Amino acid sequence: MLVECSEIPMSWLIDAQIMDQKTGYLSEKFNLWLGWPKKFSVRGLRNHLCSHYFGSKKLKETSRRLLFLWLAGWFICAIWIFWFMNSQAVEKRREMLASMCDERARMLQDQFNVSMNHLQALAILISTFHHAKEPSAIDQITFAQYAERTAFERPLTSGVAYAVKVRHSERELFEKQHGWRIKKMDLTEQPPVREEDADLESPEISPIQDEYAPVIFAQDAYKHVISVDLLTGKEDCENILRARESGKGVLTAPFPLLKSKRLGVILTYAVYKSELPSNATPVQRIKAAIGYLGGIFDVESLVDKLLHQLASKHSIVVNVHDTTDPDRPISMYGSTVTGTGIYHISTLHFGDPIRKHEMHCRFKQKAPLPWLALTTSIGTLVIALLVGYIFHATVSRIAKVEDDYRQMMVLKKQAEAADVAKSQFLATVSHEIRTPMNGVLGMLQMLMDTDLDMTQEDYVRTAHASGKALVSLINEVLDQAKIESGKLELEAVPFDLRAVLDDILSLLYGKAQEKGLELAVYVSDQIPEVVIGDHGRIRQIITNLIANSIKFTERGHIYLTVHLTEEVMSSLNIETEYHSANSLSAFPVADRRRSWENFKIFKKELPASDPSLVSTTSDLINLIISVEDTGVGIPYEAQSRVFTPFMQVRPSISRIHGGTGIGLSISKCLVGLMKGEIGFVSEPQIGSTFTFTVVLTRSSNNSNEYKSFEFHGLTSLVVDDRPVRAKVTKYHLQRLGINAIIEMYPNQVLNRITSGTVATNLMLIEHEIWLTNAGIWSFIMNKLKDDQLDIPKAILLANPATSSKKNSSSSLEFVSTIITKPLRASMLQVSLQRVMGCGDGEHSRNGRLPQLPLHSLLHGKQILVVDDNVVNLRVAAGALKKYGAEVTCADSGKIAIDMLKPPHRFDACFMDIQMPEIDGFEATRRIREMETDMNRKINSGEVPLNFLGNVIPQRVPILAMTADVIQATHEKCRKLEMDGYVTKPFEGEQLYRELTRAIVEMNDISSIKLYENSHMKRHVSCKIIWENFSHTWWGRIKCSSWSRIEMDYCRSNVVQ
């Protein structure tokens, strides 16, 4: 078994090598198959993994072939294993049989030899005691007794008899001596049979012969053979003759014994008269022979006995044959049935060289099925199949994964393409919608200019407002599309955050006022005046959030706060002022800290020990901006999809409040673009707080537009019982340079005023406080008056909710003015100016604005229109003339250049871009060259100023006319030194917008003044400038430097 086991792996190896040889020519890759099976399978796999880049089809085919070879190889291998192990088993069985057979044969031989030897000894005994003694010492009885008693020594002999040699001459004497005649054997039968039955049935007298061999002694069992002449029996005669010639024991052929019906043989020994030399000739031997001893061997019982002695006698069948005549073997023992199974032949040597005997052994049972070989080979096959299956599964899995991957890639590409296409489509569609919408709005605007009755005007106004809403919606969609397609780029311009927030408040306070909401802003003093970033986008986000809050808030307040993140972080644990009861409007609010608890910025950065230090060391500042409201809140189940585009809490929301639900999504995107995060906390029926962070850059120039004003150094007392609200007021006062002291209790006010070292100039009192403590104020005032002290100017701060129910309190006589919140620096400034007597309070808030002044803007202006297409030229000229402009036409770039050679009289130029010879861009370039040349000359004094007349256009505005709406952009035109573009055919509003932008941009404040004085009312020009330039930094600067009061006025009116 051990041998077999150790051979199995060997056979694998051999098999593998065979397989290698088989498959080697198929592909060189298969060379890897050399060596240990495990190794090559792994390598093969890796090889296939590599090859999968070449294509899964090829891989599949190769792997299938490989698999087939593998299986076939292992099938052959299994058969071989079976054959090998089976042959081993058979061989072993054969060996076992041989050894068993040989053992039996040897034993049989030994016992036979023992018997033979004894017979020989008996022969010698007879020769000694019968022949050598005179008279004989042995008679029949003695012999029979002796033979009987020594039978155990001859286990194989069933009987012995002794015959003497009697010559014919001695016959009579012999017969007389013994008293019987020499009888003859029956020839027809076998001699022994006849021996047994001779004297019983036909005791014939032996015929006369030369000599006789009558039996004189026999064992009792064979007494009947006494007196029978053995030489008359054929076999016996032959035996005797051979025995006396050879001097050795001689065997007869086997014959059936009558008595026992079994086969037997007779062994004959010759007894010699004298001791013969070992080399005596046969003749000598014949002469010397005097008698013959015969022994009957019962072979069957003999072998039976023998086999009984041996273990496992049942496992094999033993046959003994006499094969003296090889053609006719005589069976001596055992069944004659010849099986087909394996057998073994052992030669038996019974001492007679003439007689040949063989022992045939055969297993009784058929060989058992070779289970081991069977299981081993089947096991091997199963393992091979499993390995093959694994391989197959792996390959198909790889192929599948690869297919999937390819499919995914295709799908991914499709999805991306679809996404891009969608965004493109949105952008295009939005643009395409915007263009006609602008037309609609422009026309409506113009329609409003005409004489309309009240109803008509109302209709037109509504249509205009709806159009505006639609455009803003489209803009939002466009924004979203732009952000999604990654085309949105942020500006980085310096701006005053506080002013931006004031603007937002101005824009939205109307709506808040309608709903009676208190709107407040607070900016931490840690934040620098001017920061760099995209204020437009910040404005968009905040506007969005506040507008949202206004939409969903019915009572209470909306409170916008801006801090540095470092500030918030450091106060994270100690901040207690935001607990619900202490809110701006005393309504409970959601805990704002929870709105930013998921912000990464708070997680990754360690809280700074000194916020100011952190914020000053880096150029980047992190702002955290919160919008807190006391609205209906967002239901918990809807909170997860707040930032999903077009997702609203309920579909009905859009019906009640309007909007697309895209605003917050855009805000989130924008915040993300500004490297910030947005989050919110919302509790239904309590309110929501949205918080976002943005990263902005610190600006180097730190100019405060308000602080340098006339209120610097004043001291004010803010009387308010709510610290948060007082903080807001204080913040605004401080922006104007006013020192603010907060007093929470009205009854302490007098004490404050009188005890302070510095005189209190102003007293800002919350309207609520004023009302609840009405009596105390007159007391304070009178007291102060009595004490001959400066009475501070009392200003009531009313919030929209309370201001509506005007309380005609008697003490109002002490009040200088009432300021309606929300507080904004500019508005506060105006009010204070009025109170302090240094401002002009002539403005009314309710004046209706005169409408679109395109006509007035263009009226009397000298405009050059350049187009090579005469039809276009005529149409453009017609359109501009319609607006009152004086139009000059030029039909080529060259003429235009000539006409615009400074000095010239034109206020603006409209130029077609695509023209033969000199196109619009080229013409512009040349005109700009001429202008710079002229400016240089003027500056160097080469050309006297008065030569140019009173109008000094250093740079004539050139606007491109193009039919290509999509490609034309302001930026592109600016890059090519043009000042804007208008689409062909002209649209009123666009024309107006571009022209205004171009003209105003060209000329400085003086030109604004020019418009102001010439054709438009002051407010209108102000509005134009505000509308067009408030989004640019320089526009803001210009506007603010021009007239703060006007600006404030405009801001509040633009909204309406």
Q: Which is nearer to another protein, 744 or 870 (CB)?
A: 870
d(CA 889, CA 867): 8
The owner of tokens 């508005």 is: 827
Phi, psi at residue 192, to the nearest 5°?
A: -65, -35
* C-alpha span between 521 and 1 (Å, rounded): 96
Helices (H), 310-350: none
The bridge status of strand 687-698 relative to strand 530-533 is antiparallel
By beta-carbon proximity to another protein, the closer residue of 2 and 871 is 871
Does 428 engage in binding with another protein (CB under 8 A)? no
The reply on whether position 860 binds another protein by CB under 8 A is no
State the minimum distance, in angstroms, from the CB of residue 878 to another protein. 4
Task: Please give the full DSSP string across 839-897, using - where no structure is assigned.
Answer: S-----TTPPPP---HHHHHTT-EEEEE-S-HHHHHHHHHHHHHTT-EEEEESSHHHHH
Q: Could you tell me the two tokens for 500? A: 């931006």
**Is 989 among the residues that bind another protein (CB under 8 A)?**
no
Pick 675 or 882: Cβ nearer another protein: 882
Name the one range near another protein by CB under 8 A: 230-238, 371-379, 710-718, 876-884. 876-884
Instruction: Choose between 843 and 894: whose C-beta lies nearer to another protein.
Output: 894
Here's the x/- map for another protein, 956-975, by CB under 8 A: it reads as -------x------------
Q: Virtual CA dihedral for 392, 394, 399, 401, nearest 10 degrees?
A: 150
78 with 381: CB under 8 angstroms? yes
- Contact pick of 855, 882, 1017, 1038 for another protein (by CB under 8 A): 882
Residue among 41, 88, 851, 869 that touches another protein (CB under 8 A) = 869
Q: How far is the CB of 966 from another protein (least distance, A)?
A: 14
Query: Residue 622 forms beta bridges with which residues?
Result: 695
Please say which residue, 435 or 697, places its beta carbon nearer to another protein.
435
Query: Which stretch in 522-530, 628-636, 872-880, 918-926 sits in contact with another protein by CB under 8 A?
Result: 872-880
**Residue 911 CB, nearest distance to another protein (Å)?**
14
Beta pairing partners, 680: 690
- Give the separation between CA 40 and CA 49, rounded to whole angstroms: 14
Q: In whole angstroms, give the CA distance from residue 979 to residue 1000.
A: 11
User: Where does this chain touch another protein (CB under 8 A) — which range of 239-247, 584-592, 637-645, 875-883?
Assistant: 875-883
Dihedral sign, Cα of residue 775, residue 778, residue 781, residue 783:
negative
Smallest distance, another protein to C-beta of residue 922, A = 16
The window from 211-219, 300-308, 702-710, 864-872 that contacts another protein (CB under 8 A) reads 864-872
Site string for another protein, 336-375 (x = CB under 8 A): ----------------------------------------
Nearest-approach distance from CB 981 to another protein, in angstroms: 16
Cα torsion 774, 775, 780, 782 to 10°: value is: 120
Using the minimum distance from each CB to another protein, give the nearer residue, 620 or 963: 963
Please say which residue, 391 or 921, places its beta carbon nearer to another protein.
Answer: 921
C-alpha separations of 16 from 6, 31, 85, 379, 480 in Å: 16, 11, 19, 17, 65
Q: How far is the CB of 835 from another protein (least distance, A)?
A: 52
* Shorter beta-carbon distance to another protein: residue 654 or 872: 872
What is d(CA 223, CA 241) in angstroms, rounded to the nearest whole number? 23
All residues at 6 or more sequence positions from 269 whose CB lies less than 8 Å from its CB, including other chains: 119, 120, 122, 123, 243, 248, 249, 250, 292, 293, 294, 295
Residues touching another protein: how many (CB under 8 A)?
A: 17
Q: Please choose, out of 78-86, 841-849, 873-881, 1002-1010, the segment that lies near another protein by the rule CB under 8 A.
A: 873-881
Cβ neighbors of 208 (< 8 A, separation 6 or more) are 168
Shortest Cβ 872–another protein spacing (Å): 5
Which of 82, 883 has the CB closer to another protein?
A: 883
Nearer to another protein among residue 358 and residue 919 (C-beta): 919
The answer to whether 239 touches 192, Cβ cutoff 8 Å, is no
C-alpha atoms less than 13 angstroms from C-alpha of 759 in its C-beta half-sphere: 8
Part of the chain binding another protein (CB under 8 A), chosen from 55-63, 519-527, 879-887, 938-946 = 879-887
Contact flag: residue 879 with another protein (CB under 8 A) = yes
874 contacts another protein (rule: CB under 8 A): yes
Shortest spacing between CB 875 and another protein, in angstroms: 4
Of these, 872, 892, 935, 1043, which contacts another protein (CB under 8 A)?
872
CA 463 and chain centroid, separation:
54
**Which C-beta is closer to another protein: that of 739 or that of 983?**
983
Segment near another protein (CB under 8 A), from 193-201, 313-321, 871-879, 1046-1054?
Answer: 871-879
| Residue 916 touching another protein (CB under 8 A) | yes
Nearer to another protein, 679 or 988 (CB): 988
Residue 676 half-sphere exposure toward CB, CA atoms < 13 A: 28
Residues 895-914: x/- map of binding to another protein (CB under 8 A)? Answer: -------------------x
**Shortest distance (Å) from residue 475 CB to another protein:** 24
| Residue 394 backbone phi and psi in degrees, to 5 | -60, -45
Amino acid making up residue 806: K
Q: Which residue, 390 or 870, is less far from another protein as judged by CB? A: 870
CA distances from 810 to 771, 776, 778 (A): 10, 12, 9
Nearer to another protein, 201 or 917 (CB): 917
Pick between residue 1 and residue 871 the one whose CB is nearest to another protein: 871
Report if residue 881 touches another protein, rule: CB under 8 A.
yes
Choose which of 404, 492, 985, 1013 interacts with another protein (CB under 8 A): 985
| Binding track over 223-262 against another protein, x by CB under 8 A | ----------------------------------------
> Could you say whether residue 444 binds another protein (CB under 8 A)?
no
Q: Which stretch binds another protein (CB under 8 A): 136-144, 230-238, 525-533, 878-886?
A: 878-886
Cβ proximity to another protein: between 367 and 870 the closer is 870
Name the minimum Å distance from CB 69 to another protein: 57
Q: Does 875 bind another protein (CB under 8 A)?
A: yes
Q: Which is nearer to another protein, 155 or 884 (CB)?
A: 884
SS3 content of the chain, % helix, strand, coil (to 5): 55, 15, 30
Q: Is the peptide bond before 588 cis (omega within 30 degrees of 0)?
A: no
- 562-598 burial, b at 16+ Cβ within 10 Å, e below that, comes to bbbbbbbbbeeeeeeebeeeebbbbbbbbebbebbee
Determine, following the binding rule CB under 8 A, whether residue 451 of this chain makes contact with another protein. no
Please report how close the Cβ of residue 904 comes to another protein at its closest, in angstroms.
25
Tell me if 253 sits within 8 A of 324, measured CB to CB: yes
Residues 565 and 938: their CA atoms lie apart, in Å, by 53
The least CB distance from residue 897 to another protein, in Å, is 21
Among 415, 572, 870, 1055, binds another protein (CB under 8 A): 870
Residue 296: CB atoms within 10 Å:
24
CA 883 to chain centroid: 66
Tokens 């607990």 appear where?
Answer: 579
Q: Which residues bind another protein (CB under 8 A)?
A: 867-872, 874-875, 878-879, 881-882, 914, 916, 963, 984-985
